[in-house]
Amino acid sequence: MNPIILAVIIVAAIGLIAGVGLAIAAMVLAVPVDERVAKIRECLPGANCGACGFSGCDGYATAIVEDGAALNLCSPGGADTAGAIADIMGGDAGEISKETAVVLCNGNSENCGKKYEYDGVPTCAAVSALNGGDKDCPYSCLGYGDCVRSCPFDAITICNGVAVIDSEKCTACGSCIKTCPRKVIDMMPVGKRKAVTLCSNKDMGAVSRKQCSVSCIACRLCEKACKFDAIHVIDNRSVVDMDKCIGCGMCVKACPTKCLFLRK
């Protein structure tokens, strides 16, 4: 027999034997997978954002079936996804309150000046590492778009030097919060009239006012105006208790620098 043909036959035989062996091993060593995991995974949006606290959608689906994780932890999926998962698991999805990310800063180019003109890598992380950033306020949004690039839902834009979040597109996945080096992004409820302080400055009022014309100056007029004990000055900045706030707007009217706003 031709040596070349013989070699081909031998190699093919080895491949066939190895293939059969692997197929048998796969059947013998196969780990049973609950079919509900695959069904739940199909319900999830596939953002793999980690907002649920697990390693992506696969991890969350497995945690629901194997560890009894809550059914309503998927922010991007919302109530529809939680309901579909509840149907699969035969349980109650529980109440889901929609949230949106909010940039707690209004220090745009008109309200907040700059210490220097930056000419380098156009990222917030890079600018923040250079002398505390290029804006006068050391707590302001830097506006170089790290949050924009991190958002998988195209919900963030940069407007006049400050990030702006579209609450209609935002799914509260939290990617922007993790990315922001200044930590000026937080979550707040949607559909409920609430006051919010669009300032993250923690310096004394005399200092913060020089840094930004719309900064919180810790004057406590908002505290005095609120009849529901829903707002207090903490670390020289007014902080709203969302559970107590009823959205009456009295604090907004009392604020002399207009750093308080009402959101729905």
Note the pLDDT tens digit of each residue in 194-219.
Answer: 999 999 999 999 999 999 999 999 99
Q: What is the mean pLDDT of the chain?
A: 90
pTM summary value: 0.76
Distance CA 118, CA 39 (A): 50
Q: Is beta strand 237-240 parallel, antiparallel or unpaired with respect to 231-234?
A: antiparallel
Distance CA 37, CA 85 (A): 10
- Examine the fold and report which residue of 129, 152, 184 is the final residue of a domain before the chain moves on: 184
Tell me the CB-side half-sphere exposure of residue 67, using CA atoms within 13 A. Answer: 8
> For residue 31, is pLDDT > 70?
no
Tell me 229's DSSP state.
Answer: S
Beta-carbon contacts of residue 256 (< 8 Å; ≥ 6 apart): 217, 219, 221
What are the φ and ψ backbone dihedral angles of 158, each rounded to 5 degrees?
Answer: -100, 120
Please give the pLDDT value at position 118: 94
Q: Which domain holds residue 150?
A: 109-184
Q: Do 175 and 204 reside in the same domain of the chain?
A: no
> For residue 3, is pLDDT > 80?
no
Please give the pLDDT value at position 11: 79
Using pLDDT thresholds of 50, 70 and 90, give the confidence band for residue 30.
low
Do the domain assignments include residue 156?
yes
Q: Do 82 and 116 reside in the same domain of the chain?
A: no
141-182 confidence digits (pLDDT tens): 999 999 999 998 999 999 999 999 999 999 888 999 999 999
Do the domain assignments include residue 102?
no
Cα dihedral sign, 244-175-184-165: negative
